[in-house]
Amino acid sequence: MTMLTPVEEAALELRTRRTWRLDALVLGIVALLLRLPAFFAARSLVFDDGVFASSVFAMRRGDLPFRDVFSSQGALFLPLAWLGDLVGLRTINAPRVLAVAAGVLLTVATYSCARQLTTRSHALLAAALVTTSGSVLWVTGPLNADGPALALSVLAVAFALRYRRRPRHVDAVYVGIAAGAAMSIKAIAGPAVLVAGLVVVCSNHAFVKGLLDGALAASVGVAVVLVTALPWGIDRVWEQAFRYHTDATRQSNVTSALHKVLETLWARDLAVLVALALAAVFLVVRRHGEAGWWRPSLTVWMLGGWAALVVVLLVTEPALWRAHVAHLVVPLALLAALAPPPWRVLLVAAVVVVPVSVYQNHTILWPGGYSGTDAAVVARLHSLPDDALVISDDPGLVWRAERGVPGPFADASFLRIDAGELTASKVARAAQARDVCGVLVTSPDHYGRFTDLGDRLHAEGFFAEHFGDEVTFYARPGCEPS
């Protein structure tokens, strides 16, 4: 092996830094462009998109997370969403700024991880697989807590891998900041955070130094979690962001949850699965016959363990949603990029897979607007006074009409109804406020369960307007918000 002089090493480091920055810039632009259609979508793309955007609208009015706005995510999420809304100049789509920024950060962080594990071209492949993943697009276009949590947790892994290459205390601190921020958004970031910590601890030949830096990273992470929770009250954060989820009724058993994970990957992440399968096949072909060819490297163990931890968490959590599967995409994409097949094979596979993936994910790549009943409802809500509030079991319809939802009712998920936090009496009582101009019932699984809600609202002077068989808007006559 030829030894480089200090001058040659410095020149190589400079070239590497320049290519890294160029690649990161290009990948960031691509990630941004892919998410612009979702950012400008004229409808609420998923239920959470409407819930969190309505929460941001409530914060525009001065409501605070955990006190005035029910906050089912970690303490850092809604403040970051508020900041993104501010950057977006508080336009109707501005709450989605955080989601799109998370998509860009996640793409670059994945590239950074892969660049420290494999070659530049393979790192570009990993980043491309992640940024075009359907599961990732669904949490980094619509406003969703999984996108920012995933981006920050992968950033923590990237800092940890940089620490492994050149152990420095400052990188251990960066690991702690990124990991703590991720956990302050969503606990499902835990597997990536754990992997980042283990990389720091096991990276240094001097075990004691690695252990101390690991403790430093963990301490910084815990401090971030505490500092972000303190302004809102640690007890409130615990009740709304953690106990609310752990006490939720389990939605499916382990078998059905695993089936949901696999079905989601097949429906949204076909390119990742095909790339991973091809990498595995060609690895066997290349190395079969070599002594110990079947023994995984430490890197494979790390990434495989990361993916396994995510799967275990997904199938055991009480309420598994498709958005959570996005946390599995990054370790799978990194595994696929460690030793992919020849580029000509990937090109042939892409010719077949890309059109199928585009078709499977066309609703997030080119989302349309409302039509039919939903469009009529939005038009009706838009006719209300500008500062009118509407209590709705679909807050996204209110948001897209540019009207607000009272903070305590911004999250109208059926889990809150199951827990008894939302009831007909609470809705009717809140509807008495002068600035509440209506109550919208759209779903039999949500406020449609409240069979006596209509009678309660009629007693308060509201009258019913029906849109189709299931949607009813209870309007207050002559509503004039203060």
Q: What confidence tens digit (pLDDT) does each residue in 261-284 have?
A: 999 999 999 999 999 999 999 888
Q: For the chain, what is the mean pLDDT?
A: 92
Q: Are 288 and 309 in contact (CB under 8 A)?
A: no
Rounded mean pLDDT, 58-76: 95
pLDDT tens digits along 373-401: 999 999 999 999 999 999 999 999 999 99
- Residue 467 has a pLDDT of 94
Looking at residue 328, its amino acid is: L
Phi, psi dihedral angles at 14 (to 5 degrees): -65, -45
* Report for 12-16, 226-230, 240-244: range of highest mean pLDDT: 226-230
Q: Are 96 and 54 in contact (CB under 8 A)?
A: no
- Higher per-residue pLDDT: 420 or 104: 104
Give me the half-sphere count of Cα atoms (radius 13 Å) on the Cβ side of residue 325: 21
Q: In whole angstroms, what is the distance from residue 94 CA to residue 47 CA?
A: 17
pLDDT tens digits along 28-53: 999 999 999 999 999 999 999 999 99
Is it the case that residue 8 has pLDDT exceeding 70?
no
- Residue 445 has a pLDDT of 87
- Residue 406 has a pLDDT of 96
> Which one, of 323, 329, 314, lies nearest residue 276 by Cα?
329
Q: Are 342 and 279 in contact (CB under 8 A)?
A: no
- Residue 480 has a pLDDT of 85
Q: Are 17 and 374 in contact (CB under 8 A)?
A: no
Rounded mean pLDDT, 415-419: 88
Give me the half-sphere count of Cα atoms (radius 13 Å) on the Cβ side of residue 142: 26
Secondary structure of the chain in HEC code, one letter for each residue? CCCCCHHHHHHHHHHHHHHHHHHHHHHHHHHHHHHHHHHCCCCCCCHHHHHHHHHHHHHHCCCCECCCECCCCCCCHHHHHHHHHHHCCCCCCHHHHHHHHHHHHHHHHHHHHHHCCCCHHHHHHHHHHHHCCHHHHHHCCCCCCHHHHHHHHHHHHHHHHHHHHCCCHHHHHHHHHHHHHHHCCCHHHHHHHHHHHHHHHHHCCCHHHHHHHHHHHHHHHHHHHHHHHHHHCHHHHHHHHHHHHHCCCCCCCHHHHHHHHHHHHHHHCHHHHHHHHHHHHHHHHHHCCCCCCCCCCHHHHHHHHHHHHHHHHHHHCCCCCHHHHHHHHHHHHHHHHHCCCCHHHHHHHHHHHHHHHHHHCHHHHCCCCCCHHHHHHHHHHHCCCCCCEEEECCHHHHHHCCCECCHHHCCCCHHHHHCCCCCHHHHHHHCCCCCEEEEEECCCCCHHHCCCHHHHHHHCCCEEEEECCCEEEEECCCCCCC
Binned at pLDDT 50, 70 and 90, residue 320 comes out as confident
- Bridge partners of 465, per DSSP, are 473
Rounded mean pLDDT, 337-365: 95
The pairing of beta strand 436-441 with beta strand 389-392: parallel
Is it the case that residue 440 has pLDDT exceeding 50?
yes
- Residue 392 has a pLDDT of 97
Q: In whole angstroms, what is the distance from residue 62 CA to residue 68 CA?
A: 9
- Residue 243 has a pLDDT of 85
Give CA separation, 214 vs 193, 197, 221, 222, in Å. Answer: 12, 6, 11, 12
- Bridge partners of 65, per DSSP, are 69
Name residues whose C-beta falls within 8 Å of residue 45's C-beta, 6 or more positions apart in sequence: 38, 138, 141, 142, 364, 367
> Which one, of 360, 156, 363, 198, lies nearest residue 264 by Cα?
360
- Residue 1 has a pLDDT of 46
Rounded mean pLDDT, 41-70: 96
- Residue 3 has a pLDDT of 64
Binned at pLDDT 50, 70 and 90, residue 314 comes out as very high
Neighbours of 458 (CB within 10 A): 13
Neighbours of 284 (CB within 10 A): 11
Is it the case that residue 134 has pLDDT exceeding 50?
yes
Place of tokens 């990161």: 24
Is it the case that residue 231 has pLDDT exceeding 80?
yes
Q: In whole angstroms, what is the distance from residue 333 CA to residue 112 CA?
A: 13
> Which one, of 146, 155, 142, lies nearest residue 106 by Cα?
155
Q: Are 75 and 229 in contact (CB under 8 A)?
A: yes
Give CA separation, 465 vs 417, 455, 458, 473, in Å. Answer: 24, 14, 12, 5
The pairing of beta strand 436-441 with beta strand 471-475: antiparallel
- Residue 2 has a pLDDT of 56
- Residue 294 has a pLDDT of 54
- Bridge partners of 392, per DSSP, are 440
- Residue 292 has a pLDDT of 55
Q: In whole angstroms, what is the distance from residue 313 CA to residue 401 CA?
A: 37
Looking at residue 277, its amino acid is: A
